[in-house]
């Protein structure tokens, strides 16, 4: 049953009229409410979710798209992972008031019954006789909503990280639609692959753009088109990548766009050998700028571009090769005795050598070795993002094997994560900088101030602050006061 928001009508019925149905429950203050309230006040998140997800229903459209999406977002924030739990999620004052309809805590009375949610999501299921489209409406919708969010927040970054992660599922369950088997660190996994472009804000990182696919494609192949077309990569920006994206053609295209790439070389590459040989020969080492890196020294080697050519240039004579870019490297020297925990067995056991080496390449023309190293040391932040998304935000918590539901989960998980990141960039959210959302959300369970109370009367509902409820309480009949006690206290 749909119940509309009308505080005056609720008060009138409670104090003057008869009613058939009454329910009430307290809404305890929590961080997810703060985040969503902020998102609606400042970014109009309801309008965005309505604008950037196509309406595919011909009936029941009074249950709006934002209702489903934002219930999903707040459910992820509250770690309510089952579809049946979505009706329990929305407690944001701004969202409830703007939508003007309620979601009750009692499932039998809920506006968003599980059947309604599954029916809504089912409209986005792809036709069986067509190839599965991993860039479906939910993945596209996240990118569109997120783009508008970042634009309204005026949040941009000139440093970006590209990486991929496996969204793994139960390996023994072959029914996950479109999932494939892959290997990671020698472990056999089943699932999907998510490619993420991440930016850096003043106080926290944020997701800029995503691409989704089966787990099988190589990271480079899956992400290449997104990166080359990305509007987030601008003239003068830096893109940090890991070895999975080593491709000289893509690096050259990015350089033409004005984007500098920083990426480690593989040890079997000619450019790695050339950089180490030159570094050892000139023997001009400096201490690693990170004081925690004991037994590590660095040096700069320049003009290495001729040691990494694409296939067409390799066929030319050196005097006929005209490159529009230069390639430099920060070479890191590891003293083996002090770095055994981070070196491979092959590096440690290599005979007659005191040191092992790593090479970090860059197309930036003027960076020092220290600057290259400091920039590349930002890359692990995206790995921490992936860990938090999986461990805390439910990125891989699926209660369905159907891809359209899985992609919905991914959309609302990433949207919730980014809304929190944007909140921390605001004046209102500055106290949460450097703090885990889940930890702070749990702290809120012990807060007793600013409790709100929802009262539902027949076809109407209202949300009262405690002072409003106390003023109302004294005006009620003894019977209604006892009824409220039963619902709220006993």
Residues 6+ apart with CB under 8 A from 156: 150, 199, 232
Q: What is the mean pLDDT of residues 17-26?
A: 88
pLDDT at 177: 95
pLDDT tens-digit map of 118-144: 889 999 998 887 889 999 999 999 999
Alpha-carbon gap, residue 3 to 459, rounded angstroms: 5
Axis-axis angle for helices 403-424, 31-43 (nearest 10): 80
Strand partners, 195: 164, 211
Give residue 91's pLDDT. 87
| Tens of pLDDT, residues 380-412 | 999 999 999 999 999 999 999 999 999 999 999
Question: How far is it, in rounded angstroms, from Cα 462 to Cα 229?
Answer: 47
Which of these ranges, 78-92, 169-183, 259-273, 474-488, has the smallest mean pLDDT?
78-92
pLDDT at 111: 62
**Tokens read off for 218:** 């190589």
* Residue pLDDT, tens place only, 275-318: 999 999 999 999 999 999 999 999 999 999 999 998 888 888 88
The whole-angstrom separation of Cα 410 and Cα 435 is: 22
CB atoms within 10 A of CB 155: 17
Average pLDDT over every residue of 58-81: 88
Question: Helix H segments across 154-243?
Answer: 219-229
Whether 441 and 61 have beta carbons less than 8 Å apart is answered as no
pLDDT in tens, 462-490: 999 999 999 999 999 999 999 998 988 76
Joined together, the tokens standing for residue 473 give: 């309480």
First to last CA, the chain: 26
Here the tokens at position 479 are 């019977």
175, 154 in Cβ contact below 8 A? no
pLDDT at position 1 is 61
Alpha carbon 190 to its chain's center: 21
Kindly report the pTM of this predicted structure. 0.90
Q: Which two tokens stand for residue 341?
A: 């925990």
Cα distances (Å, whole numbers) of residue 90 to 49, 75, 102 = 15, 7, 9
């Amino acid at each position: 049953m749909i119940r509309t928001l009308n505080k005056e009508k609720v008060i009138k019925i409670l104090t003057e009229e008869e009613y058939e149905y009454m329910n009430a429950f307290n809404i305890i203050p929590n961080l997810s409410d703060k985040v969503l309230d902020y998102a609606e006040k400042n970014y109009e998140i309801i309008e965005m979710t309505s604008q950037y997800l196509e309406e595919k229903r011909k009936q029941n459209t009074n249950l709006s798209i934002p209702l489903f999406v934002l219930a999903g977002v707040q459910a992820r924030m509250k770690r309510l992972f089952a579809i049946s739990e979505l009706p329990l999620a929305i407690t944001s004052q701004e969202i409830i008031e703007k939508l003007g309809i309620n979601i009750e805590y009692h499932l039998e009375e809920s506006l968003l019954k599980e059947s309604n949610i599954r029916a809504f999501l089912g409209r986005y299921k792809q036709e069986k006789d067509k190839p599965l489209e991993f860039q479906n409406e939910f993945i596209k919708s996240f990118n569109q909503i997120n783009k508008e969010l970042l634009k309204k927040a005026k949040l941009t970054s000139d440093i970006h990280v590209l990486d991929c992660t496996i969204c793994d599922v139960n390996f023994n369950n072959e029914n996950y639609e479109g999932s494939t088997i892959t290997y990671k660190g020698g472990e056999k996994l089943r699932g999907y692959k998510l490619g993420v472009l991440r930016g850096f804000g003043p106080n926290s990182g944020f997701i800029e753009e995503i691409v989704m696919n089966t787990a099988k494609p190589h990271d480079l192949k899956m992400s290449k088109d997104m990166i080359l077309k990305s509007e987030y990569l601008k003239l003068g920006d830096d893109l940090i990548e890991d070895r999975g994206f080593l491709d000289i053609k893509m690096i050259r295209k990015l350089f033409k766009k004005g984007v500098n790439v920083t990426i480690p070389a593989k040890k079997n590459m000619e450019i790695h050998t050339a950089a180490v040989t030159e570094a050892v020969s000139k023997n001009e080492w400096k201490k690693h700028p990170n004081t925690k890196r004991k037994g590590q020294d660095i040096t700069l080697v320049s003009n290495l571009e001729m040691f990494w050519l694409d296939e067409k240039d390799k066929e030319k004579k050196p005097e006929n090769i005209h490159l529009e870019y230069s390639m430099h490297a920060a070479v890191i020297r590891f003293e083996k005795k002090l770095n055994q925990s981070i070196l491979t067995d092959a590096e440690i056991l290599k005979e007659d050598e005191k040191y092992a080496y790593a090479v970090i390449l860059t197309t930036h023309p003027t960076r020092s070795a220290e600057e290259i190293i400091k920039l590349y040391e930002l890359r692990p932040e995206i790995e921490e993002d992936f860990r938090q998304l999986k461990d805390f935000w439910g990125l891989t918590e699926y209660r369905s094997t159907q891809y359209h539901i899985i992609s919905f989960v991914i959309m609302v998980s990433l949207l919730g994560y980014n809304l929190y990141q944007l909140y921390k960039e605001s004046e209102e959210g500055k106290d949460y900088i450097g703090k885990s959302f889940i930890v702070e959300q749990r702290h809120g369970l012990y807060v007793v101030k600013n409790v709100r109370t929802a009262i539902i009367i027949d076809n109407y509902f209202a949300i009262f602050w405690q002072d409003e409820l106390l003023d109302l309480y004294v005006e009620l009949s003894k019977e209604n006061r006892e009824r409220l006690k039963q619902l709220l206290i006993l």
